[in-house]
Structure 1
Amino acid sequence: MGLSYAVHAYAWTTSWSNATLDLIDHVKSLGFDLIEIPLMELELIDPDAIRQRLERVGLRVVTSTAISESTDITSGDDDVRRSGIKYLKGCVEATAAMGGESFSGVIYSAIGRKIDGIPGPKYWENSATALKEVAAYAAELGITLGIEPINRYESFLINTCEQGLRLIDMIGAPNVKLHLDAYHMNIEEDEFYAPTMQAAGKLCHFHLSESHRGTPGTGTVDWRAIYQALADQNYHGVVGLESFNNVSDAMRAATCVWRLMAPSSDHLLSHGLTYLRDLEREIYSATD
C-alpha cells in the first residue's frame, strides 16, 4: 500500500464554493487520490454537493483551514475563543458531511498575528483547552485533527515539529495528530529527516511544498530525506501537494507568490506528482 496523494485547491483558486466543484473532476483527471478543500470561507461550503461530486468521480477529500484573529483560540477574550471553538466545530461538521476523515492546518492560533514578547503559558493553555473540546466533538464524528507547524512570520506559537508535538501532548486526545509542511520545515527546522522521524506514529498529513512553493524537486527541500523518514516509519497515509502559482490577483495576495512558478498550475502539479511518486517507489522499495 503506497502513499495517498492530495492536492490543495489553492493551486487554482483561493475561494471554494459550488462554482468550483468541477475542480474535483479535474483533480481526478490529473491522477491524484484526494483533493484538499480549504474551509476559511465556511459559509460558502456545501458539503452535500461536494460529497455527491466526490462519490461520482471517485475521489477522497481532506480539509484544512487557518483561524483568524476573530476566531483565535489563544485570545484572552472569552467571546473570541468561543467563536473560534464554534468555527472549528463547524469545520469538523463540514468535513464529516462531505465524507472526509481529516481536518487540519493552523487551527491552534491566528495566522499572521504578532504579539509583544515571548508567548507565555496562557497562550498554550488557551489553545490546548479549546482544542480538547473540538477534539472530543471531532471524535464523535470520526474526524482526526491535524496540527500544522508553520514559519515564524505566520505564527508566533508553533513553528516546529517539536512544538506541535508539545501541544498534542497537552491536548491529550488520540485523534489529534501532526500535519507537517516541507515549506515551513525548510525555514524552521535544522534538517528534514530527524523532525519527520520525530513525528512517527503521530503523523496524519504532510504538505509536500517546495522551498519556493513551486514544482517539487526544483528547489532546496531535501525530498530524499523526507521520503526516507516516511519509509523508515512505515507511513502509508496522506501526503499533499500544496503548490501555488501566480495565476490571479487573489492568489498573489493570499500566497505571496509574485512570479510565475510554472507555465500553468496543471504543469506544476503533474510534473511534481510524477517526481514525488517516482521518488516514493525508489525509496520505499529499497526500504521494504
Structure 2
Amino acid sequence: MYSCITIALVPAIQAGPWIYWQDLQSGMEKAAALGFDAVELFTESAEAVQTTTLRQLMADTGLRIGAVGTGAGKVLHGLTLTDPNPDVRVQAVAFIRDMIDFGASVQAPAIIGSMQGNAGAGVTHTQALAWLAEGLETLGSHAESRGVTLIYEPLNRYETNLINRLADGVQFLESLRTRNVRLLADLFHMNIEEASLPDSIRQAGAWIGHVHFADSNRRPIGGGHTAMPDIVQALRDIGYAQCVSAEAFPWPDPDTAARQTIDSYRRYFG
C-alpha cells in the first residue's frame, strides 16, 4: 500500500473534500516534503494539465499519480452516465474516456464517482443501472486498451440512489463482461452505509482497487470516530497493495490536514 493525498484544481468546488487546492506544483512539492508517495488529481478536464508538465513535476518530486477524478464532468457540465438524454450519456462517456487517456499517460486509473448519476424522476432503478452498465462496459474496455484499470465508487445514499454498498458494487461488477473495473472503498461513504467496514472489505476482496482515507466526518483520519486498526487488518487480509488516498476536508487547514494524514498513515500502515 502507498500513501496519497488529493489535489483539486477546480475553483468552482472549493467546499469539497480535497486537501490541497489550485496550485499543482505547490501541492506536489508539499506532499513530497511530507513523505507522501503519490497525489490524486481532480482537474477541470483532461486538457487542464499538460502531460509534459505533470511528468516533469513527478520527476522533480518523486511522486506518482495515484488516480485522476472525473467528477468535474458532472460539477461543471452536468454530465452523468445515467442521464435520460442519450446525447448527454454519450458526452459523459466521451468526457470520461478523455480522463482515462489523461490518467493513462502517467499510468494512473480514472475514478467514476459522481458521474454515475442517479435514477431520477421517471427513470426506474433497473433502467439507470442498465445505462450505468453500458457506460462501464465501454469505459472499462477502453481503460484496458490503455493499460490501466477503471475505478467505480459506491457513494452514500445522500449522493446516489444507485449503488451504496461494496457488496452491491461487487454484484454489479460481476454482471459486466469487462473485468477491468474495480471498486473504490471510501471509508467516509462506508461509515454511513456498511454494517461493518472490515467485514465489507474482506467480502469485496480483490474487487477493491482504490481506497479513500477519510474519517467518519470526512475530516482527516483522527478527526472522527473511525476505528482504523481493524480496517487496516482487513486490507492486509485481502492483500490490498494499491493507493490509500486522503479524500478529506482540509480541516482545519490544508497543511495541518496533510500532516495529520501522513502521521495517521504511518501510525496505522507502518
TM-score, scaled to structure 2: 0.87
> 1:81 and 1:241, CA in 2 relative to 1: closer, same or farther beyond 3 A?
same
C-alpha displacement of 1:177: 0.5
CA contact (8 A) 2:82 2:119 kept: no
Which residue does the alignment assign to 1:103?
110
| TM superposition outliers: structure 1 runs of 4+ over 4 Å | none
Secondary structure of 2:158's counterpart equals coil
Quote the Cα distance in structure 1 between the aligned partners of 2:119 and 2:83.
12
Quote the Cα distance in structure 1 between the aligned partners of 2:94 and 2:192.
32
Letter of the aligned partner of 1:100 in structure 2?
Q
C-alpha displacement of 1:138: 0.9
Structure 1, residues 102-146: CA drift from partner, whole Å, max 9, x if none? Answer: 211416512xx5724884211111111111111111111111111
CA contact (8 A) 2:19 2:257 kept: no
Letter of the aligned partner of 1:94 in structure 2?
F
CA contact (8 A) 2:125 2:162 kept: no
CA contact (8 A) 1:35 1:60 kept: yes
Instruction: Select between 121-130 and 68-77 the one with higher mean Cα deviation.
Output: 68-77
RMSD of equivalent CA atoms:
2.0
CA contact (8 A) 2:213 2:220 kept: no
Structure 1, residues 169-197: CA drift from partner, whole Å, max 9, x if none? Answer: 23332221011101111111112111111
Q: Counterparts in 2 of 1:163-202, with a 5 A limit?
A: 163-202=168-207
Q: Confirm or deny that 1:55 pairs with 2:59.
A: yes
CA contact (8 A) 1:147 1:177 kept: yes
Q: 2:5 aligns with which of 1, 4, 7?
A: 7
Which residue does the alignment assign to 2:35?
31
CA contact (8 A) 2:70 2:115 kept: no
CA contact (8 A) 1:63 1:100 kept: no
Bigger relative contact order (CA 8 A; separation at least 6): 2
Structure 1, residues 32-66: CA drift from partner, whole Å, max 9, x if none? Answer: 00000013444423222112211222110021222
> 1:131 and 1:212, CA in 2 relative to 1: closer, same or farther beyond 3 A?
same
Quote the Cα distance in structure 2 between the aligned partners of 1:137 and 1:227.
32
Structure 1 unpaired stretches of 5+: 246-260, 282-288
Q: 1:269 aligns with which of 255, 258, 262?
A: 258
Letter of the aligned partner of 1:12 in structure 2?
Y
Quote the Cα distance in structure 2 between the aligned partners of 1:114 and 1:137.
25
Secondary structure of 1:6's counterpart equals strand
Quote the Cα distance in structure 1 between the aligned partners of 2:132 and 2:123.
16
Structure 2 unpaired stretches of 5+: 8-17
Which residue does the alignment assign to 1:72?
80
Identity of aligned residues (%): 25
CA contact (8 A) 2:3 2:265 kept: no
Quote the Cα distance in structure 2 between the aligned partners of 1:221 and 1:119.
34
Secondary structure of 2:100's counterpart equals helix
Q: Confirm or deny that 1:86 pairs with 2:94.
A: yes
TM-score, scaled to structure 1: 0.82
Q: Confirm or deny that 1:147 pairs with 2:139.
A: no
